[in-house]
Chain A
Amino acid sequence: DAGITQSPRHKVTETGTPVTLRCHQTENHRYMYWYRQDPGHGLRLIHYSYGVKDTDKGEVSDGYSVSRSKTEDFLLTLESATSSQTSVYFCATTTGNQETQYFGPGTRLLVL
């Protein structure tokens, strides 16, 4: 998994509670991404970062926020979790050529 870890790996939470997922990389890659994976939709980009404190929205960013205070960490926050945010979340990074992406192992989130 190219030095990418995600925590937690599994989480069950209740509707309306805040949730933060963490992605940690040891490769010093500049770009980091958060995706969600749902049946029938493939992977969809939520947010991405192109440097410390530099982030931008992806295709499905509503209800999510991100922060990147260090090169190695990229946090995804669900301010008030909803059942529609039940999904598997993947973090990814890119090397200097910004083309091939390396993925973490995923976080399985269930919102009840």
Chain B
Amino acid sequence: SQQGEEDPQALSIQEGENATMNCSYKTSINNLQWYRQNSGRGLVHLILIRSNEREKHSGRLRVTLDTSKKSSSLLITASRAADTASYFCATVPYGGATNKLIFGTGTLLAVQP
């Protein structure tokens, strides 16, 4: 069963603009993670935010978590063509084994040069 649902499914922006994608999930979580997947490649971990955190930054990435709404957002600032990829959220359900992630269906981001 899918825990996370990303929105939008696809996003096209110009280089230099900000990109925002959202993730909603169904059950309480221990943490939420964002991954990037370039075409034809494996997933790469971007950032992890725990259930007791509300915001986290890493370089041009900003992640927020609203546990009351069961949602998270990933903001990529000053986007570059190299940011073109699919982005997935993944959750570790509360009380579940911390080694098992449940992935959403992803947002496909296209950054036009």
Q: Which residue numbers of A lie inside 8 Å of B, CB to CB?
A: 1, 4, 31, 35, 40-45, 48, 50, 58-59, 90, 92, 94, 98-106
Contact = CB atoms under 8 A, between A and B. Distances in A.
Interface of B: 1-2, 4, 31, 33, 40-45, 48, 88, 90, 92, 98-106
Given A43-B43, A106-B41, A100 B104 contact: no
Contacts of A100: 33, 45, 48
A50 B97 CA distance: 11
B97 to A, nearest CB: 8
A42 B104 contact: yes
B86 to A, nearest CB: 9
6 contacts: A31-B99, A42-B2, A48-B99, A100-B33, A101-B101, A103-B44
A92 B44 CA distance: 10
Given A98-B99, A99-B31, A42 B1 contact: no
A40 B42 contact: no
Nearest to A58: B100
Contacts, number: 56
What's the dominant secondary structure at chain A's contact region? strand
Contact of B43 (A45, A90, A98, A99): A90
A110 to B, nearest CB: 15
Contact of B42 (A1, A44, A50, A99): A1
A106 B31 CA distance: 25
Nearest to B2: A42
Contacts of A59: 1
